[in-house]
Structure formats: structure tokens, C-alpha cells
Chain A
Amino acid sequence: MMALETRNLVKRFGGFTATHDVSLSIRQGARHALIGPNGAGKTTLINLFTGVFAPTSGQIFLDGEDITALPAHARVARGLSRTFQINQLFADFTPLDSMMLAIGERKGHGRRFWQPLAADREVAEEAVTTLERFRLADVMSEETRLLPYGKQRLLEIALAIAARPKVLLLDEPAAGVPEEEREEVLGIVRALPEDVTVVLIEHDMDLVFSFADRISVLAAGALFAEGSVEEISRDPQVKAIYLGEDA
């Protein structure tokens, strides 16, 4: 069974077709990269997967289940989680608060209105473990907006992981991270659990080729090519539309 699948997915904004008849299958446990020039519709596709937009037509399946009509939060509960290209964090929360929130919500504790946060030991312990894993434990009491960008990026990924996703969508995880913090972020991305299916949107070809086992190329909203790293890196047409233009 495919972890994530789309059938004839179309998204139009007025007269503009951002996603054009995309049928994509992503296998369980894959490291799947989505590449394509700017404006190829990569982020739109992620937004369709996660329920930010409703598709104009077509269907989306998670683990074989049709999730096309589900709202964003219900898809998260079914194991689909994402990071954003531009950090979407809670600026004045501390990393600890953010993790308490993310883990508490996964466990369904978010409706508890009479329990002090400190009394939720189970969530607190997991929050700390996750913060340690993402090298955020030392800054857990600082306001998020004051953290270095690389740390914020790690928190962005940690929040997505806290949902214990089956499928994780990473939208340019290393974008904007300064060189000296980059390795820390990439290390975390590489160390993601193997059973988690990872879909990566990325511009950095070195990262794509070192990380992905399968690549889909998008151009003008449509699926242009798909194959292994080998195949894609050799494909002259891909080079022409993407590598040639962008490199």
C-alpha cells in the first residue's frame, strides 16, 4: 500500500492552474524528493496534501484512505504532518511550551481545562526528550523569536515530528539556515526514523541527491518526470527544464 497517493489532482486559482492532473504515489518509508523550478507548484501540492487548500478535482489518499474531504487538523490526526518553508512558529512561546502543546495535542490532552500544564508529567517528559533530540533542550526557556534561525528551524521540524507522523512533508527544511548551523539541521533530517515516509521539497540538489531515494520533477504544475536519483540526474530533459535553467 502506498503511504501517500494522489489521483488526477487539479488545483486552479481563477484562470491559473497551479496543479495540473498530478497522480503521484509515494511508497511506505520512502525518502521522496519533489523538485522543480520556482513556481512549478511544489508548495501548492503540499498545501493540497495537508488540507490548506481544497483541490478543484482529484483525490488524495493517506495509507489507502481517501482524505480529500478532511480538514487539515483531521489529516494530522491520521498521521500527515508538515513543516513550512517559512517558519510558522509561536513567536512568544518557549520551545518547551510549543512542545507541550504539540505533544499534548497528539495525545488528545488539549481539551483538559482543569489540569495545570506542570501536572501533565507524561507529556512533559516526552517534550524534554524531543527537545534533547533536536538540540533545543538548552534553550527551552527562551522565547522562540529570540532563537538563532537554525534553532527555530529545528523547532519547526520538532513540532512536525511531535505529531508522530506516518508521512512527513518537509518544505525546504534547510532554507535560510546559515552555513554554520546547516549541518545540525541536515543531521536531524537524515536521522529521521526509517518507518516515517518523508517527502522533501528542496532546491539544493546536493541535498536532494544525497537524501532522496526517489525524485519527482514538477514543471508548470504538472508531473514532468519521476524516477530514481540515477535516472533523474541523467535525464537530459530534466536537465534542460530544471538543472539547466536553475543551475
Chain B
Amino acid sequence: MTDHQAHALRLLTAKHRWRVWEIALWLAAIAAIFLLPSQLLILTEIVILALFAVSLDLILGYAGIVSLGHTAFFGLGAYAAGILARDYVAEPVTGLVFAGLVSGLFGLATSFLVLRGSDLTRLMTTFGVAMLLAELGNQAAWLTGGADGLSGISMTPILGLFEFDLWGRNGYIYCLVVLIVLTFVARHITNSPFGLSLMAIKRNPRRAAMLGISPKRRIVTVYAVSAAYAGMAGALLAQTTNFVSPDVLAFHRSADVLLVLVIGGAGYLYGGIFGAIIFTMLRDWLSVATPQYWMFWIGLILVAIVMIGRERLTGWPALLAARLKSRTGEAAR
């Protein structure tokens, strides 16, 4: 093997290697089970939002597909898991897989809407699909409970072994395991040749086509995977709260998850997770500190983040370093 080849293999291997902060994040999440036993309900909420945001990152951060209706898949998954548990099987993992399948298939069926057109058309079609689904959920009260929400869910123990407890401990562990497994899978997908081709399509579709890449299939695939992820996040919400509110299909959820991803940064998977932590904590803190104006502050923070225009949270150190470098460079001249 030549030096160049060895160098190339090192570079390619490094992409896939677990970074210290990744491991630290997961260890902290696991440690929270023991260190923050009174906060497990809000942590569960964070984990579910994180999974939802990771799902959005798969299409937005990797394939460049903007969506204002991603909650269609989240809500559909929540209802699928809720109805399955109420009427047929109340075992959570079965419900999780079922919800993933239902949302994934719905993603596959609606993917043609995001294949072509500008960002604006995509925003409108995704928005439209979510609105449609919200109204269907509202009207089909015999199935979904309509405006009252879907109740009467009583989950059996996870895999028949672990019962959901009042403190939300097993609920948190369950959600965290799902997030870890699905992030691991997403990590694998994004580091593959398929993942690389998605990034290429996002960056320069003209050139991607000139390398023989047919963008259609790749986008359909990732859209379905992303929808399945969102559906599973919705299932987790239904299963841990024993309830599905019609709010799961509400527009603000699509907006929130987009906000979460923007806060954390798109295109590196963990943006959704960091964003979910920051967003939920900010919201909780602000809604106590300034109950009437917390939306104002969230809005201000959003504007600030977008204006500063960095791509991701972990980009901060690099950005600062680059600034400093150019400063000192100018000073030296």
C-alpha cells in the first residue's frame, strides 16, 4: 500500500470513528437515570423531540429537502401506535415498529411531492400534507377520538419485561435506547456511499447528475426512512403518555422541530439532539421566568442564530478560530 493510500484510508476511517463528545453525550444521558430521577419526564420529552429532529435532519441536513409539515409523520406514528395499543396489541416495541412502518409507507407514498420543484414548492406541499392529515384526524373521531384526543391506551410492559413506572424511569430508558439505536443506524447510513451521494445531491444536483447519480431514488429512500423515524418518535410520545392529542398533527410541531434543528445545526445528526436539549430547557426556563413573553425570547434567539449564520453548533470553535486567525493575519500585515 502506498503512503497516499494509507493516508486516504485513515481519512475515511476517521469519518466513522466515534468522537469523544458523542460518547460523553450518551454517557451523560445514561447517567441522568441515576442523577436526575426527578427530571425524567422532561428528559423523556427531550429524547422524543431529539429523535423527531434527527429524522428531519436526515432529509433537511443531508438531502436538502425543506419541510414545513414533518409532523404529518410524527402525528401519524403517534396515532398508529395509539390505535394499535388501544384496540389490538399494547406491547410498546411492536407499536414502535408498526408506527415506523405506517409512517415510512406514508413517506414513500408522498415522496413524489418533494422530488421536484423549488424549496418553496416543497414547503407548501409538505405543509399541505400535514394540514390534510390533521383535518382527517379531526374528522375521523370514531377512530382517533377527534378533538378530544385518543385515550384509553394502557401499555403492557416493554417486551413483556419492563413496566412503565410512575416516575417515568423505564419510559425514559426505553426512549433513550430507541434514540441511541436509531442514531447509530442514521450514523451508519450517512457515512455510507449512499449518504455521500445524498450530500452531493444537496450541494450540487447538476454535478451529481453528471456523475451518473439519479437523485430520484435516493431522495425517495431517505424521505421514507426519515418519515419512519418521525413516526417512531410519535409512537414514543403516545406510548409514554398513554394519550394522543390532536395537537400531534398541529402546525406548530413542524415549526418547532425545524427550529430545534436550526438551533442545533443541520447536517451532522447531533444537531437535532443538542437542539432538543437547548430548545426544551430554554422553553422551560423562559416560560417560568417570563410566562407571557417566552415566545418573544425564542423568536429573538432564532433570529440571532440565523443572522450569525453558522451551520452548526460544533462549528462555533472552528468559526472563532478562523476569525481570530484572519484578525491576527491582518494585524501581522
User: Of the candidates B12, B191, B211, which one forms a contact with A124 in the assembled complex, judged by CB atoms under 8 Å apart?
Assistant: B12
Number of interface residues of A (CB under 8 A): 53
Q: Does B188 contact A (CB under 8 A)?
A: yes
Q: Does B210 contact A (CB under 8 A)?
A: yes
Which A90-127 residues have C-beta < 8 A from chain B?
A: 90-94, 96-97, 100-102, 104-106, 109-118, 120-121, 123-125, 127
B214 surroundings in chain A (CB, below 8 A): 71, 73-74
**B8 & A104 in contact (Cβ 8 Å cutoff):** no
Interface-centre pick from A50, A106, A137 (highest chain B CB count, 10 A): A137
A46 to B299, CA, bound (A): 48
Q: Does B328 contact A (CB under 8 A)?
A: no
A145 to B255, CA, bound (A): 33
A141 to B12, CA, bound (A): 10
Q: Using CB atoms, name the residue of chain B closest to A90.
A: B203
Q: Does A88 contact B (CB under 8 A)?
A: yes
**B11 & A94 in contact (Cβ 8 Å cutoff):** yes
Quick check: which of B86-94, B98-106, B119-127, B194-202 contacts chain A, the rest being far away? B194-202
**A118 & B9 in contact (Cβ 8 Å cutoff):** yes
Which A192-239 residues have C-beta < 8 A from chain B?
A: none
**A105 & B197 in contact (Cβ 8 Å cutoff):** yes
Q: Contact string, B1-29, partner A, CB cutoff 8 A, digits 1/0? A: 01011011101110110000000000000
Q: Does A69 contact B (CB under 8 A)?
A: no
Interface-centre pick from A88, A132, A162 (highest chain B CB count, 10 A): A88
A82 surroundings in chain B (CB, below 8 A): 210
User: Of the candidates A52, A92, A111, A141, which one forms a contact with B194 in the assembled complex, judged by CB atoms under 8 Å apart?
Assistant: A111
* Interchain nearest-CB distance for B168 vs A (Å): 34
B12 surroundings in chain A (CB, below 8 A): 96, 100, 116-118, 124
**A76 & B211 in contact (Cβ 8 Å cutoff):** yes
Q: Does B189 contact A (CB under 8 A)?
A: yes
Q: Does B314 contact A (CB under 8 A)?
A: no
**A76 & B212 in contact (Cβ 8 Å cutoff):** yes
A76 surroundings in chain B (CB, below 8 A): 209-212
Q: List 9 A-B contacts (CB under 8 A).
A: A88-B206, A90-B203, A97-B196, A105-B193, A113-B192, A116-B188, A117-B192, A118-B9, A141-B7
Apart from A105-B212, A110-B197, what 10 extra A-B contacts exist at CB < 8 Å? Answer: A71-B209, A84-B206, A97-B196, A101-B197, A111-B194, A112-B192, A112-B193, A121-B9, A128-B5, A160-B210
Question: With A88-B204, A88-B210 in contact, do A115 and B196 touch (Cβ < 8 Å)?
Answer: no
Q: Does A167 contact B (CB under 8 A)?
A: no
Q: Using CB atoms, name the residue of chain A closest to B191.
A: A116
* Interchain nearest-CB distance for B226 vs A (Å): 13
Q: Using CB atoms, name the residue of chain B closest to A77.
A: B212
Q: Does B207 contact A (CB under 8 A)?
A: yes
**B4 & A101 in contact (Cβ 8 Å cutoff):** no
Q: Give me the 8 closest cross-chain CB pairs, A-B, nearest first.
A: A118-B12, A76-B212, A113-B194, A88-B207, A72-B209, A118-B13, A104-B193, A110-B197
